[in-house]
Copies of this chain bind each other. A is one copy, B any other.
């Protein structure tokens, strides 16, 4: 007989559910109130969890918020990987969408806080690099880009930089109409390089 994974106990299930509630509350809190307004207590209350339970899962504030951004980034990556293959314009639009929702807002708050706080900086730098590499890999796959061809790697990188910039442009105002036109044009430019 093979190795049998023991079924999860109800206690483990509850612990996992608590952890997820905390992670989701942390991202929403960061996106809405910024780093200065995001403490473990505020997140615990929002998640309906005691402060003690929150600290059991995440000993420090830095642990909680970096784990939260990483978790949501992984969720988004997983969703993107299962995107049905469509035209290039749709793929570009889906990549750009990564940078216009609450996850990007939360990540942006964390990056900007990390630029001023030595304590946060190394962890966020490392997280950003990991998420960035993963997003690049997914983009290459979805776009059907052959990185052996000269210029293709830099073209995909530039596209993701543009997506990040479009996210920033959407921070204070709804930039969707302009963004659609820019995405359409740049998707056409990509075709010239990638095909």
Q: Which residues of A contact B (CB under 8 A)?
A: 32-37, 105, 108-109, 111-116, 121, 124-125, 128-129, 132, 151, 154-155, 157-158, 160-169, 171-173, 178, 181-182, 184-186, 188-189, 192-193
Contacts and interface: CB of A to CB of B under 8 A. Distances in A.
Given A161-B165, A165-B164, A111 B182 contact: no
Given A112-B109, A192-B192, A184 B154 contact: yes
Contacts of A129: 173
A115 B61 CA distance: 22
The oligomer's copy count stands at 2
A168 B168 contact: yes
B178 A169 contact: no
Nearest to A188: B151
A172 B32 contact: no
23 contacts: A34-B116, A36-B36, A105-B115, A108-B168, A115-B171, A151-B188, A154-B181, A154-B186, A155-B186, A157-B178, A157-B181, A157-B182, A158-B185, A158-B186, A161-B165, A161-B166, A161-B182, A162-B165, A164-B164, A164-B165, A165-B166, A189-B192, A192-B192
A102 to B, nearest CB: 11
Given A162-B158, A172-B125, A173-B125, A112 B108 contact: yes
A184 B158 CA distance: 10
Contact of A172 (B121, B167, B178): B121
